[in-house]
Amino acid sequence: MRIFKPMFVTAIAVVTLASCSSVKNMAVPTMDTAVSIAAKKGAVSDEQFNHWAHADLATDTIPGMSVDKAYKFLEGKTGETVIVAVIDSGIDIEHEDLKDVIWTNSKEVAGNGIDDDKNGYIDDIHGWNFLGGDGVAAPEQLEITRIVAKLNKRFEGKTDTDISEEEKESFAEYQKYLDAYKASSSRHFQTLTRLEQIGENYAAIKKFLGKDSVTLEDLQAVKTEDQKLQAQIGDVLGLIGRGLDEKAYLEYYETQKKNKNYDFDFDGRAIVGDKPQDINDKVYGNANVIGSKDEESHGTHVAGIILATRNNGIGLNGVANNAKLMSVRAVPDGDERDKDVALAIRYAVDNGAKVINMSFGKSFSPYRHWVFDAIKYAEEKDVLLVHAAGNDHKNIDVSDNWPNDSLDKINEIADNVLTIGAMSVNYDENLPATFTNYGQKNVDVFGPGVQIYSTVPNNEYAKYNGTSMASPEVAGVATLVRSYYPQLSASQVKHIIMNSGTAIDMQVMLPGSQSQENPAGKKVNFSELSISGKVANAYNALILADKMVNGK
């Protein structure tokens, strides 16, 4: 681990508020939240590293969110239960560290095949699965694939001379989409071609040896004058030397063959049975919120970060207590459908969620207006949405990243969405995660997103990287604030988290700026990477919430 460097900062300012009859209408003050840190040398223990996101920068010299410190502040206080919806790939709700915090729909009778609460979803006991299938993984195309596949029916194989004046504008758009598809898919198809070549090499060697499988010793013992076979053996030996034996190769090949991201002919809705272009076709899917248990590690990991059972002696402590997990399955192995996202948000809102985590995103969104309408609906119902900024090390003030809360990347349609960038444990120029998206207008605040320890299916645990991890870290902070200060609106909680975060006054490496051509990269002020220029801090957020509610 890197040595932490000192940073200039000032003390936390005391904020005094005038009395106000309605807390929900109060403006959110800004805290001066920088802290004076001395450099510390020495390794961090494995136990500390597993929970570094909960550490405190001032006391631990680890740039976490001060979660442990927040719970000391909460001693003796009682919070209300908050329902947290996780819209994701599916969640192992039977996990040992999650099963005690699962939301149950008290208006529905389990397993009776009747829509008891008349919400259109039969037996939705713990949430809803908008991807269909019963214990089946959900492969899907990317949105760019769906767009090009649709336009191919009109324009595939045509040139400018084949296009009428009326269709020239549409044809030009098609060309842009086609170029985007080719740029995105080229590496995938190159990988498939390479894997097929490796398969041919194994087949040729097996035929020569007369065996159904080959070992390293077999390969090393082969004597042949056949130059092509020699090259094939050399290729396989090189792969084995890099850790890719035949078993690993076959597993990886099967995974890649199942990948439907770029398959024009694949119908990802066959097991769902809905009309994806019709937002009024709302009743589809089923109550299987786990999905394919062995494969839905992403949603399970996200859920654990927010609210894995605290202080039970196993696994980890989630950021939030007093929370119940609603699982809403809408994110496939590919790009999520706008319709599924919109209906998933509405489902969560209608069933009582006050915080919704959305650790997903894509570059194209043909039905974004459905999602915008759902975001505004959530705002009307006072629900906070927390969304991952994305992992393409891009400036999303320029590049598209959907869903978001802005039609034009400038003007927000609602004030209930927090967009989260990812930071690492390195308290130096490498503080931003190398992969994180950023934006001084469209990323609100940063949260821990590198080597985050959390739950994965079948009672196991793992460390993952991504803004997918940073988003639930901050969603957990939002849940804490909403639990202990329920008087505050979703908008106020959003701005409390932004205004109370830890200010980082240093130059950092711009994500994505380092390359072989430019190994030194480019440095910018951390404040240029988000609106707030801060890292979310649970302790500070609770202090500011307390000042707003109690005026102390």
| pLDDT tens per residue, range 445-496 | 999 999 999 999 999 999 999 999 999 999 999 999 999 999 999 999 999 9
**Number of helical H runs and strand E runs in the chain:** 14, 13
Nearest to residue 266, comparing CAs of 362, 154, 139?
Answer: 139
List of E strands, 389-518: 417-423, 445-448, 452-456, 460-464, 502-503, 507-509
Are the C-beta atoms of 404 and 387 separated by less than 8 Å? yes
| Pick from 35-49, 143-157, 329-343: least confident | 35-49
Output the CA torsion 235→237→239→245 (10° steps): 130
Given a cut of 70, whether residue 17 has pLDDT beyond it is: no
The confidence score (pLDDT) of residue 21 equals 36
299-355 pLDDT per residue, tens: 999 999 999 999 999 999 999 999 999 999 999 999 999 999 999 999 999 999 999
Q: Which of 468, 471, 489, 532 is catalytic?
A: 468
| Pick from 47-56, 163-172, 417-426: least confident | 47-56
The confidence score (pLDDT) of residue 34 equals 58
Given a cut of 70, whether residue 41 has pLDDT beyond it is: no
Inter-axis angle of helices 168-209 and 143-155, nearest 10: 110
For 531-543, the DSSP string reads SS-EE--HHHHHH
The confidence score (pLDDT) of residue 3 equals 28
The confidence score (pLDDT) of residue 32 equals 60
d(CA 30, CA 13): 9
pLDDT band at 38; cut points 50, 70, 90: very low
Given a cut of 50, whether residue 243 has pLDDT beyond it is: yes
Pairwise pLDDT comparison (292 vs 121), residue with the higher score = 121
Q: Which of 298, 301, 387, 495 is catalytic?
A: 298
Provide CATH code, domain 23-36+44-136+284-550.
3.40.50.200
Pairwise pLDDT comparison (5 vs 69), residue with the higher score = 69
CB atoms within 10 A of CB 441: 16
Are the C-beta atoms of 467 and 389 separated by less than 8 Å? yes
pLDDT band at 543; cut points 50, 70, 90: very high
Instruction: Show the tokens assigned to 98.
Output: 């999650």
The confidence score (pLDDT) of residue 4 equals 25
d(CA 303, CA 288): 16
Asked about 532 being catalytic, the answer comes back as no
CB atoms within 10 A of CB 140: 23
Q: What is the DSSP secondary structure assignment for residue 24, as one 8-state letter? A: G
CB atoms within 10 A of CB 478: 30
pLDDT band at 35; cut points 50, 70, 90: low
Q: Where in the chain is the domain with CATH 3.40.50.200?
A: 23-36+44-136+284-550
pLDDT band at 14; cut points 50, 70, 90: very low
The confidence score (pLDDT) of residue 1 equals 30
| Pick from 169-178, 210-219, 376-385, 442-451: least confident | 210-219
Contacts of 305 (CB under 8 A, 6+ apart): 53, 318, 319, 452, 454, 469, 472, 473, 476
Query: Which residue in this structure is represented by tokens 């949405």?
Result: 385
Inter-axis angle of helices 538-550 and 490-500, nearest 10: 130
Are the C-beta atoms of 262 and 189 separated by less than 8 Å? yes
List of E strands, 359-434: 384-388, 417-423
Q: What is the mean pLDDT of residues 12-29?
A: 44
Helices (H), 308-456: 338-350, 368-380
Pairwise pLDDT comparison (410 vs 414), residue with the higher score = 414
63-111 pLDDT per residue, tens: 999 999 999 999 999 999 999 999 999 999 999 999 999 999 999 999 9
Asked about 468 being catalytic, the answer comes back as yes
Q: What is the DSSP secondary structure assignment for residue 33, as one 8-state letter? A: -
Q: Which of 56, 60, 66, 88 is catalytic?
A: 88
Cα 292 from chain centroid (whole Å): 19
Are the C-beta atoms of 455 and 95 separated by less than 8 Å? yes
Output the average pLDDT for the chain. Answer: 91
250-260 pLDDT per residue, tens: 999 998 988 99
Are the C-beta atoms of 260 and 142 separated by less than 8 Å? no
How many residues does the structure list for the chain?
Answer: 552
Are the C-beta atoms of 141 and 253 separated by less than 8 Å? no
Q: What is the DSSP secondary structure assignment for residue 106, as one 8-state letter? A: T
Output the CA torsion 333→385→66→423 (10° steps): 50
d(CA 90, CA 128): 10
371-409 pLDDT per residue, tens: 999 999 999 999 999 999 999 999 999 999 999 999 888
The confidence score (pLDDT) of residue 181 equals 97
